[in-house]
A and B are shown apart, each in its own frame.
Chain A
């Protein structure tokens, strides 16, 4: 199974900060990667698909990049509603695997 290593596991940031989260696959996965946001007690929400495509309704401050083994989620200007946990997920083959998550907390 492909392993997804996400970093950092947590970070503290202020409103307005630029935030970058990375995900590394244990083998090449083309651009078969998505990013999800989860808030406490809620189901995850799709933000980015196919590494760099913004899901409908998601604010443009979210962006994704990368291909092969290294991927990045960037929040250009952190907003109060963005404090949450973020997960990458590869869909290159089965079994699908999530990264370990990055908790974004208020500084």
Chain B
């Protein structure tokens, strides 16, 4: 059974940093692109960042480029999102999701809440 379990969310002050983790199981982690998708309270979905199976290629939304870094550890089957210079508008539930080429996000985690506030 595929499982994605996010952790690392919490309350952080503006300008601060946070690292999210997503522990994956039930599939060959290194074979799949992975992404982070976020949802601000009461708002729609926003794709944030994606990474290839090897970790060699990364992609970012313009809203986080230069502040966030996606990475993965294929030995630990874990996806990461390092978030720096956080802003109030980064407050959201952050989901990790497994991407299947020519299909889409077929599995999602339960989300972890990041709150940026003083």
- Would B47 and A55 count as touching, CB distance under 8 A? no
- Prevailing SS type, chain B contact patch: strand
* A45, A50, A94, A101: the one within 8 Å of B102 (CB): A50
Q: Which residues of A contact B (CB under 8 A)?
A: 1, 34, 36, 38, 43-46, 49-50, 53, 55, 87, 89, 91, 94-101
- Would A44 and B47 count as touching, CB distance under 8 A? no
* A1, A44, A53: the one within 8 Å of B105 (CB): A44
- Would A95 and B59 count as touching, CB distance under 8 A? yes
* B47, B95, B109: the one within 8 Å of A97 (CB): B47
Q: Which residues of B contact A (CB under 8 A)?
A: 35, 37, 44-47, 50, 59-62, 95, 97, 102-106, 108-111
- Would A36 and B105 count as touching, CB distance under 8 A? yes
- Would B95 and A43 count as touching, CB distance under 8 A? yes
- Would B59 and A94 count as touching, CB distance under 8 A? yes
- Would B104 and A89 count as touching, CB distance under 8 A? yes
Assuming the A-B contacts A96-B50, A98-B45, are A55 and B59 also in contact, with contact meaning beta carbons closer than 8 angstroms in the complex?
A: no
User: Nearest B residue to A89 by beta-carbon distance?
Assistant: B104
Chain A residues, Cβ within 8 Å of B37: 44
* A91, A95, A99, A101: the one within 8 Å of B104 (CB): A91
* A46, A89, A96, A98: the one within 8 Å of B106 (CB): A46
